[in-house]
């Protein structure tokens, strides 16, 4: 059997995956808080861990893998959106879950085995909180229940921080009912206009962290194989999950392997609304950028490295996919992917290495093997093929040619313009130039692969 090795955040080592039960592989990934559209950074873990899901199914069998990704449908951000819009909370969360499914489907992500909603597991959370109080790890105060962090000496092991350092550097809520600034909320009171449930501590709602501990224990067991999520969740969310789960169950670990993907940048800068480079997956799809192209770009960088989203990578991804789809048109996939693809993915989900191997297969003209191998990464499947009917976006190349023309007019040297025009023509692009501007039109013999390097 293929040996899968993954970098375990908990141990800081690349480790062999040794399933608790090879007949039932269990994976949990933290899902979205459903109050708005998913932005591009939210999509990275979805695509990365979708590849993990595909790999596990390939190695162990489709029916042996349970992949759980939750929806957080009770949260202060959702409450604020309801207050802002005057809409019912349930209406907002239902709509947002629908948006999320549509957008992730467009990226070719398989639906997880189960997608639990936090509000369906309130009784499980209450029971876990009662257990933590009974065992002396949590306490009730002024309608709140808090986990007493100093009762768990290994707190901070996942993120590699000492408790005192965390107190000095963290933004923690200072409240009179806390015994220690780092104690975190398991349950909090709700007012009349906030969602709430009756509990031993009064009418209220759960804290954020308890939901994942309760749902993963119920659906996957007290200890399971892999817990995944973005690096931004490592502290405090995952640190708190570990503390409350291990104390509740008396286990040495919550999950055997912890996987964290790094953050996303846009053209070398952090994505933020203040910089004007913040966009959702839906924004990109509305711009005509195909979901398969977005997926390809997200897989070009190893998940443990920061990823830079650039226009150049978009052009490269589209050109590559057009070339590969042309090579595999009408070809049935081979019975199995190339060993080089499986080996790359089994080596800590090395998607960049797998893409390099796909280029080698394409150069050798092995169309059937290329299609089967690409499908391991969720590429070249029939479900994502519709975008080929749309015309490619050649506006960046038109803009580049326009700049070259302006420079040529000043220098009287048109060699660069003529060279680029020739390359475009060789790729099957009709070049129309006049005083008003430049128009590029793909012709009958258009070959996007020949645009590489222009």
Same domain, 100 and 155: yes
pLDDT on residue 323: 93
Which domain, by its residues, includes 416?
Answer: 395-451
Which distant-in-sequence residues (6+ apart) come within 8 Å of 229 by Cβ? 29, 30, 45, 237, 238, 259, 260, 261
Domain termination site, one of 344, 370, 389: 389
C-alpha distances in Å from residue 412, one per residue of 280, 408, 433: 44, 5, 17
Residue 231: which of 48, 440, 450, 62 has the closest Cα? 48
The pairing of beta strand 5-8 with beta strand 13-16: antiparallel
Same domain, 109 and 149: yes
Q: Quote the tokens at residue 129.
A: 């909180």
pLDDT on residue 16: 98
Q: Quote the tokens at residue 143.
A: 């309608």
Sign of CA dihedral 151, 154, 159, 161: positive
Same domain, 170 and 317: no
Same domain, 194 and 297: no
Burial (CB < 10 A; 0-12, 13-18, 19+), residue 199, is buried
pLDDT on residue 170: 55
Q: What is the DSSP letter of 432?
A: E
pLDDT on residue 270: 85
Same domain, 189 and 94: yes
φ and ψ at residue 8, rounded to 5 degrees: -90, 115
Give the pTM.
0.86
Same domain, 436 and 421: yes
Tens digit of each residue's pLDDT, the chain (454 residues): 899 999 999 999 999 999 999 999 999 999 999 999 999 999 999 999 999 999 999 999 999 999 999 999 999 999 989 988 989 999 999 999 999 999 999 999 999 999 999 999 999 999 999 999 999 999 999 999 999 999 999 999 999 987 776 665 555 566 888 999 899 999 999 987 889 999 999 999 999 999 999 999 999 999 999 999 999 999 999 999 999 999 999 999 999 999 999 999 999 988 877 777 888 999 999 888 999 999 999 999 999 999 999 999 999 999 999 999 999 999 999 999 999 999 999 999 999 999 999 999 999 999 999 999 999 999 999 999 888 876 777 888 999 999 999 999 999 999 999 999 999 998 889 899 988 889 998 876 677 667 767 8
Same domain, 247 and 274: no
Domain termination site, one of 339, 359, 389: 389
Same domain, 142 and 214: yes
Same domain, 279 and 321: yes
Domain termination site, one of 233, 261, 289: 261
Same domain, 316 and 244: no
pLDDT on residue 61: 97
Same domain, 132 and 269: no
Alpha carbons 326 and 362: distance in angstroms, whole number:
11
Alpha helices in 107-252 (DSSP H): 122-134, 163-169, 208-220, 239-249
Same domain, 168 and 310: no
Residue 220 belongs to domain with CATH number: 3.40.50.620
Strand, coil or helix: what is 420?
helix
What total number of domains does the chain contain? 3
Alpha carbons 376 and 337: distance in angstroms, whole number:
7
């Amino acid at each position: 059997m293929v040996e899968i090795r993954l970098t375990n955040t908990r141990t800081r080592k690349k480790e062999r995956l040794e399933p608790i039960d090879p007949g039932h592989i269990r994976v949990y990934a933290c899902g979205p808080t459903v109050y708005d559209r998913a932005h591009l950074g939210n999509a990275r873990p979805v695509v990365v861990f979708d590849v993990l899901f595909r790999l596990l199914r390939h190695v162990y069998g489709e029916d042996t893998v349970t992949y759980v990704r939750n929806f957080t449908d009770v949260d202060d951000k959702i409450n604020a959106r309801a207050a802002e819009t005057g809409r019912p909370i349930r209406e907002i969360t239902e709509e947002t879950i629908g948006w999320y499914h549509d957008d992730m489907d467009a990226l070719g992500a398989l639906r997880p085995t189960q997608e639990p909603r936090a509000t369906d597991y309130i009784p499980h959370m209450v029971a876990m909180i009662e257990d933590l109080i009974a065992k002396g790890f949590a306490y009730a105060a002024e309608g709140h229940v808090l986990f007493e962090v100093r009762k768990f000496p290994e707190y901070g092991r996942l993120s590699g921080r000492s408790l005192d350092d965390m107190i000095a550097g963290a933004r923690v809520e200072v409240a009179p009912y806390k015994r220690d600034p780092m104690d975190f909320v398991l349950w909090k009171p709700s007012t009349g206009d906030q969602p709430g449930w009756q509990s031993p501590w009064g009418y209220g709602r759960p804290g954020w962290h308890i939901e994942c501990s309760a749902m993963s224990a119920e659906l996957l067991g007290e200890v399971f194989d892999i817990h995944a999520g973005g690096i931004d969740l490592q502290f405090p969310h995952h640190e708190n999950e570990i503390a409350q789960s291990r104390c509740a169950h008396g286990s040495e670990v919550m999950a055997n392997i912890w996987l964290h993907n790094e953050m996303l940048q846009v053209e070398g800068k952090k994505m933020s609304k203040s910089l004007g480079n913040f966009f959702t997956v839906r924004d990109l799809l509305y711009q005509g950028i195909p979901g398969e192209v977005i997926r390809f770009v997200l897989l070009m960088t190893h998940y443990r490295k920061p990823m830079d989203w650039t226009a150049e990578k978009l052009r490269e991804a589209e050109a590559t996919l057009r070339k590969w789809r042309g090579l595999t048109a009408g070809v049935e996939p081979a019975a199995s992917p190339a060993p080089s693809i499986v080996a790359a993915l089994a080596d800590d989900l090395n998607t960049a290495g797998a893409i390099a191997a796909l280029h080698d297969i394409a150069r050798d003209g092995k169309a059937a093997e290329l299609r089967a191998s690409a499908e391991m990464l969720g590429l070249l499947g029939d479900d994502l093929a519709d975008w080929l009917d749309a015309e490619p976006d050649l506006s960046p190349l038109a803009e580049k040619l326009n700049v070259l023309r302006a420079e040529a007019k000043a220098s009287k040297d048109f060699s660069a313009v003529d060279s680029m025009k020739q390359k475009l023509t060789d790729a099957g692009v009709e070049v129309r130039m006049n005083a008003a501007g430049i128009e590029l039109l793909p012709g009958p013999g258009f070959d996007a692969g020949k645009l590489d390097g222009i």
